[in-house]
Every structure is written in C-alpha cells, then in structure tokens.
C-alpha cells in the first residue's frame, strides 16, 4: 500500500507544471505580456496631436452647445446679448447713479466703459463656470467614448468666445451711439480677444480638473467670481476707486495687474476715446504673460490627470 501511495504522490508532483509567471505581481505580469492600462495618459506631444485631430469635433461641439443654450427660451439667442446688457443697466443704476462710482466720467464715456467691462468680464466668468462642469456634467460622454478630455473645456471656452462675438455687435452699436467711431486702435480687439481666449481656456481647463474631483466647487465658484468682479473694476475705474479708498501701493499694483482688469483695460483703451488715464506700457506684457502662464500651465495641469477623468 505504501508503494502505491508513493507512486501516486510522485505522479501528482510530476503532472503539476510550474508556470514561469508564478510569483509575478499583476503589474509585472501585464508588462511582461505587453498589456497597457486602458485610457492611460499619452505623452504631451502625442496629446497635442490628438487634440489637433479632434479640432472639428471641438468646433462642432461648441456650436451645438451654443445653439442649445437658450433653445427653451422664446427669445432664443437674443439672451446671449440681453443678459449682459441687463447686468450693465443694473450696475449703471447702482454704481453710476446711486454710489457715484463713475470716477468723473461723463455718460458718453462711462456707459461704453461699463458695457465693455461687463462683456469682457462675462467672457472670463462664463468660461470658468462652464469649465468647472465640463467633465462632471458630461460623464456619459467621457465614459462612453475615447477622446482627449481637454476637448470638452476647450470647446466650452470656444463657445463663450462665439457668444462674446455676438455681444461685440451690440457693443459697437453702443460705442457709435455715444460718439466713439472706428479708429485704427479698434484693430487691437483681435490680439486682446486672442490673448484673453487663451487665458480663459487655461482657466476652464484648471476648473475642469478641479471640478471633476470636487463637484461642489460649482456651487462655490460664483462667490469667488463675484469677488473677482468687484476687485477688477468692472463697474468703475479701478485706479480711481483705489486712490479714493487710500489703498496701499502694493494693493493697487496687485489689483491693477490681475488678468481680468488687464484685459478690460486693453479693450477699453482700444475702443473708447478720451479716457482720462493713459494705458501703462507694461499692460501688454501682463496680458501676454497671463495668457502663456495660465493657458499653457492649465493645459499641462489638466493633461496630467487625463487617465482619471470619468473613473470612480
């Protein structure tokens, strides 16, 4: 009996092959057989090339969102212009009439000054608000299709640029109505909008990554943006108000250099004749610096979490 048992045991050992993969961790086993993580982040250069390949999707998606934005409203796309104009009317009543915040500007200058500031800041504000929901509000699309996720916040920022271009038609009518006629300086609109678009896209990308992990950020962001609006001189000449309040010089320098104020100043001085204070020469450098820093930095920041979007 013992002999039969020993033979049976030896046979069992002989037919139990030892796999060369034994003892390897799952990650090591995947690498050995050439397996890759689904949705893994590609290199930055490849990612940019993928984005360029999706350029038609980005444009079409932004146009579709723009069309659908007011599809349920009877006035439709007119609300793209009516909303900032109504805001400007409220600000004119409160800051221009009740609080005396026009800084010595007559109506011929203050109203174009105010409308320009509202339109330009709304561009940045809406880009940030759209960006914070770009991933968390489109999880079905993110989980169903494989594409560079940066396409979503970029398309939302492009949507806001198209909306601003509609508003610029009304802004030009306001300028003409108050005696500000076309000049060579109006050509500066193009580089100003281009720089602001790059900056806003960076903001949208940053907000998209943060909002994908913290959806409650969408509830907090309006309060942050409202504070930013008051600190940027949308409704009043910022430098005049700072001097009136006796603010320290470093506080004035920080507020005047903030990107929202910089892009508004450039647009106002390009369009409105006779503003009392000259445009500082370093403002263009600030506008370019903010666009590069936030635009490029925001893109890289978003790309670094590419494989995390839509998971969990």
**Residue 12 domain flag:** no
Q: Quick: pLDDT tens for 264-310.
A: 999 988 888 767 666 777 889 999 999 999 999 999 999 998 888 87
- Whether the predicted pLDDT of 15 surpasses 50: no
pLDDT band at 223 (very low <50, low <70, confident <90, very high): very high
Q: Which domain holds residue 157?
A: 43-308
- Whether the predicted pLDDT of 11 surpasses 50: no
**Residue 4 domain flag:** no
pLDDT at position 280, please? Answer: 72
Q: Report the alpha-carbon distance of residue 248 to residue 152 in Å, rounded.
A: 41
**Residue 15 domain flag:** no
Return the structure tokens found at 286: 């600030």
Contact 191, 284 (CB under 8 A): no
**Residue 147 domain flag:** yes
DSSP string for residues in 27-53: HHHHHHTT---TTPPPPHHHHHHHHHH
- Whether the predicted pLDDT of 75 surpasses 60: no
Half-sphere exposure of 120 (CA within 13 A, CB side): 30
CA 164 vs CA 160, 168, 174, 274: distances in Å: 6, 6, 15, 25
**Residue 226 domain flag:** yes
**Residue 49 domain flag:** yes
Q: What is the mean pLDDT of the chain?
A: 80
Between 238 and 292, residue with greater pLDDT: 292
Mean pLDDT, range 5-29, rounded to an integer: 53
Mean pLDDT, range 95-105, rounded to an integer: 62
**Residue 17 domain flag:** no
Mean pLDDT, range 217-230, rounded to an integer: 92
User: DSSP character for 278?
Assistant: P
Between 16 and 80, residue with greater pLDDT: 80
pLDDT band at 7 (very low <50, low <70, confident <90, very high): very low
Mean pLDDT, range 68-93, rounded to an integer: 66
Between 263 and 144, residue with greater pLDDT: 263
Q: Report the alpha-carbon distance of residue 89 to residue 111 in Å, rounded.
A: 9
CA 158 vs CA 57, 82, 131, 190: distances in Å: 12, 20, 11, 15
From the number of C-beta atoms within 10 Å of its C-beta (0-12, 13-18, 19+), residue 308 rates as middle
Say which residues have a Cβ less than 8 Å from residue 301's Cβ, sequence separation at least 6.
Answer: 205, 206, 209
Question: Pick from 106, 266, 239, 128: which is nearest to 185 by CA?
Answer: 266
Q: What are phi and psi of 149, to 5 degrees?
A: -65, -20
- Whether the predicted pLDDT of 123 surpasses 80: yes
pLDDT at position 21, please? Answer: 58
Between 72 and 231, residue with greater pLDDT: 231
pLDDT band at 13 (very low <50, low <70, confident <90, very high): very low
pLDDT at position 2, please? Answer: 47
Q: Quick: pLDDT tens for 157-175.
A: 999 998 888 888 888 888 8
Say which residues have a Cβ less than 8 Å from residue 206's Cβ, sequence separation at least 6.
Answer: 131, 294, 298, 301, 302
User: DSSP character for 138?
Assistant: G
Query: % helix / strand / coil in the chain, to the nearest 5?
Result: 75, 0, 25
Q: Report the alpha-carbon distance of residue 125 to residue 225 in Å, rounded.
A: 7
User: DSSP character for 291?
Assistant: H
Element (H, E) at 9: helix 2-14
CB atoms within 10 A of CB 62: 23
pLDDT band at 1 (very low <50, low <70, confident <90, very high): very low
pLDDT at position 16, please? Answer: 47
Q: What are phi and psi of 37, to 5 degrees?
A: -70, 130
Q: Report the alpha-carbon distance of residue 82 to residue 73 in Å, rounded.
A: 12
- Whether the predicted pLDDT of 17 surpasses 60: no
pLDDT at position 277, please? Answer: 64
**Residue 29 domain flag:** no
Q: pLDDT over 70 for what percent of the chain?
A: 73
Contact 205, 289 (CB under 8 A): no
Q: Report the alpha-carbon distance of residue 33 to residue 27 in Å, rounded.
A: 10
Q: Which long-range contacts (CB under 8 A, 24 or more apart) does 26-32 make?
A: none
Q: Which residue has the tokens 């689904």?
A: 38
Task: Look at the chain and report how many structural domains it folds into.
Answer: 1
Q: pLDDT over 90 for what percent of the chain?
A: 30
Between 245 and 220, residue with greater pLDDT: 220
């Amino acid at each position: 009996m013992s002999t039969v048992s020993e033979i049976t045991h030896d046979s069992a050992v002989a037919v139990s092959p030892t796999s060369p993969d034994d003892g390897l961790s799952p990650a090591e086993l995947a690498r050995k057989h050439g397996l890759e993580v689904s949705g893994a982040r590609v290199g930055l250069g490849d990612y940019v090339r993928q984005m360029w390949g999706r350029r038609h999707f980005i444009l079409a998606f932004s146009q579709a969102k723009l069309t659908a934005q007011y599809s349920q409203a009877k006035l439709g796309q007119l609300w793209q212009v009516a909303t900032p104009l109504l805001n400007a009317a409220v600000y004119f009543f409160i800051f221009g009439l009740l609080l005396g915040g026009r800084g010595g500007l007559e109506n011929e200058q203050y109203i174009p000054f105010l409308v320009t500031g509202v339109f330009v800041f709304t561009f940045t504000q809406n880009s940030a608000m759209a960006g914070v929901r770009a991933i968390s509000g489109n999880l079905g699309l993110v989980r169903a299709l494989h594409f560079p996720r940066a396409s979503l916040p970029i398309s939302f920022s492009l949507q806001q640029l198209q909306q601003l271009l509609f508003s610029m038609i009304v802004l030009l009518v306001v300028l003409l109505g108050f005696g500000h006629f076309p000049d060579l300086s109006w050509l500066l609109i193009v580089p100003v909008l281009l720089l602001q678009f790059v900056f806003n896209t960076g903001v949208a990308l940053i907000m998209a990554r943060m909002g994908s992990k913290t959806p409650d950020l969408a509830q907090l962001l309006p309060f942050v943006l409202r504070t930013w609006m008051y600190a940027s001189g949308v409704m009043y000449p910022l430098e005049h108000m700072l001097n009136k309040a006796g603010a320290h010089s470093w506080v004035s320098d920080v507020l005047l250099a903030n990107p929202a104020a910089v892009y508004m100043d450039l647009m106002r001085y390009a369009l409105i004749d006779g503003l009392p204070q000259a445009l500082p020469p370093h403002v263009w450098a600030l506008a370019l610096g903010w666009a590069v820093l936030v635009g490029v930095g925001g893109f890289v920041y978003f790309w670094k979490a590419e494989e995390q979007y839509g998971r969990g």
